[in-house]
Amino acid sequence: MNGEIELIRGDITTLGCDAIVNAANSSLLGGGGVDGAIHRVAGPELLAECRALGGCEPGGAKLTAGYRLPARFVIHTVGPIFGDGTADEDETLRDCYANSLALAASAGIESIAFPAISTGAYGFPIERATRIAIAAAKRWLDGERPPRRIIFCCFSETDRQVYARLLGDSA
């Protein structure tokens, strides 16, 4: 692995890395959870820029400025709504990570922080989602391009413990 994976528990809107990832809805116009928090902290300029983007498909990723956030950029990705696990939810979630990392690389971003995408209101089981997130990060870090520092930022201690256990298992 040619980089580092970090795990923290905290509020992603406070991180001073190059980019944070927003677990957005397809409109990109704000919502609940981490999406609402990012929009509140970034300010109305983020909403204005997102309006011009025309939404985003599940698995896709779009880049905006960070505005009032400590992070310079926000990468918005739309995770899958989890049904019974047979509607390509795993592949769509993998695409969220892969497309966010590829977009970060194209923008020269060296450090990126991810929330636990789709595990809140979208109902993706945390352990299953975490395995996908870690595998995507490790696959990316096996390459030679930025970002070289991937941070998983868990809002809850319960989620942080799942990440910690699975990162330990895969080390």
Residue 25 CA to residue 87 CA, distance in Å, equals: 18
Residue 128 CA to residue 162 CA, distance in Å, equals: 10
Q: Give yes or no: 95 in active site.
A: no
On the question of a cis peptide bond just before residue 80, with omega within 30 degrees of 0, the verdict is no
Helix/strand/coil (H/E/C) assignment for every residue in 66-131? CCCCCCCEEEEEECCCCCCCCCCHHHHHHHHHHHHHHHHHHCCCCEEEECCCCCCCCCCCHHHHHH
Query: Is 20:75 a contact under the CB 8 Å cutoff?
Result: yes
Largest CA distance in the chain: 42
Catalytic residue among 35, 84, 90, 169: 35
Catalytic residue positions?
A: 35
